[in-house]
């Protein structure tokens, strides 16, 4: 605000709180200079709105520092939401450094004073397949770094195979029960086959029919 705008602000505030405005001419001039220095960056409309918010909940006289603090919070919020990038403008020479700095300064000032909205970072979205991949990877267990999973892959072949299927968009065979009558492995369990000693031998890869079943029951694939 400029010093010439302060008397109008004080007169409007005095309608709600006469204690704010000084009556002595000398004190009034000093008050105007003091308020103008504190509210130098605050728009007049915002200063009045801040005073209205103050007296909506308080009976204490408002101080210029409170108006300035409210304005700083607004500016901080706008700038925190602005990515700070500058889009090239038509007619602006990319080699004109002073012109670029001037345009960048004007853009940021426009954001600060609400003349244009902040350039916010938009959420990166993908198709439904991305959500399905995240869901399937989340079912594989606790979080591990890529390096750790790679190192453990030889010792966890089943988990490694399921992770690779999720990352490459292939059907997760272990998400369904195996339809092979000699296997009947439950979801999440590896396929198996009978051994010669009446035991069960665990397979490193699922039965092909189990993979086909997973592909036909995957909602992302059947809807495509």
The whole-number average pLDDT for the span 143-154 is 70
How high is the mean pLDDT of the chain? 83
Angle ∠(188,189,195) on CA atoms, nearest 5? 165
Q: Which has more confidence, 154 or 71?
A: 71
Write out pLDDT tens, residues 170-188.
888 888 999 998 898 898 8
Positive or negative torsion for Cα 194, 195, 198, 203: negative
Distance (Å) of CA 202 to CA 12, 87, 112, 152, 193 = 84, 59, 65, 19, 7
Out of 63, 81, 99, a domain closes at 81
Residue numbers of the domain that contains 146:
128-222
Q: Is residue 155 part of a domain?
A: yes
d(CA 84, CA 95): 20
pTM beyond 0.75: the answer is: no
Q: Which two tokens stand for residue 209?
A: 């029919």
Would the pLDDT of 194 be above 50? Answer: yes
Domain count within the chain: 2
Q: Is residue 201 part of a domain?
A: yes
Is the domain of 135 the same as that of 211? yes
Q: Is residue 152 part of a domain?
A: yes
Rank 64-78, 84-98, 168-182 by mean pLDDT and report only the highest. Answer: 64-78
Q: Is residue 111 part of a domain?
A: no
Q: Is residue 109 part of a domain?
A: no
Is the domain of 133 the same as that of 77? no
Q: Is residue 165 part of a domain?
A: yes
Is the domain of 64 the same as that of 137? no
Q: Is residue 158 part of a domain?
A: yes
Is the domain of 65 the same as that of 149? no
Write out pLDDT tens, residues 93-146.
777 788 878 887 888 888 888 888 877 765 555 566 666 666 666 665 555 666
Which of these, 90, 184, 76, lies nearest to 193 by C-alpha position? 184
Out of 48, 65, 81, a domain closes at 81
Q: Is residue 104 part of a domain?
A: no
Q: Can you give the length of the chain in residues? A: 224
Q: Which has more confidence, 48 or 169?
A: 48
Q: What one-character-per-residue DSSP string does 6-45 give?
A: HHHHHHHHHTT-TTSS--SHHHHHHHHHHHHHHTTTS-HH
Is the domain of 137 the same as that of 217? yes
Rank 10-19, 147-156, 174-183, 194-203 by mean pLDDT and report only the highest. Answer: 10-19
Would the pLDDT of 223 be above 60? Answer: no
């Amino acid at each position: 605000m400029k010093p010439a705008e302060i008397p109008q602000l004080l007169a409007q505030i005095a309608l709600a709180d006469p204690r704010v405005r000084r009556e002595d001419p000398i004190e009034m001039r000093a008050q105007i200079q003091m308020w103008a220095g504190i509210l130098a960056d605050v728009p007049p409309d915002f200063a009045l709105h801040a005073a209205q918010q103050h007296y909506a909940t308080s009976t204490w006289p408002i101080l210029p520092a409170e108006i300035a603090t409210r304005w700083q919070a607004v500016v901080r919020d706008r700038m925190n939401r602005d990515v700070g990038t500058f889009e090239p403008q038509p007619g602006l020479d990319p080699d004109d450094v002073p012109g670029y700095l001037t345009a960048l300064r004007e853009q940021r000032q426009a954001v600060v004073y609400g003349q244009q909205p902040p350039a916010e970072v938009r959420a990166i979205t993908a198709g439904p397949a991305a959500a399905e991949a995240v869901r399937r990877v989340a079912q594989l267990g606790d979080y591990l770094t890529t390096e750790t999973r790679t190192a453990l892959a030889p010792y966890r072949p089943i988990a490694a195979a399921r992770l690779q299927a999720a990352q490459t968009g292939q059907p997760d065979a272990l998400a369904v029960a195996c339809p092979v009558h000699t296997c009947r492995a439950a979801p999440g369990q590896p396929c198996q086959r009978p051994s010669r000693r009446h035991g069960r031998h665990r397979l490193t890869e699922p039965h092909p029919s189990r993979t086909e079943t997973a592909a036909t029951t995957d909602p992302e694939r059947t809807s495509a």
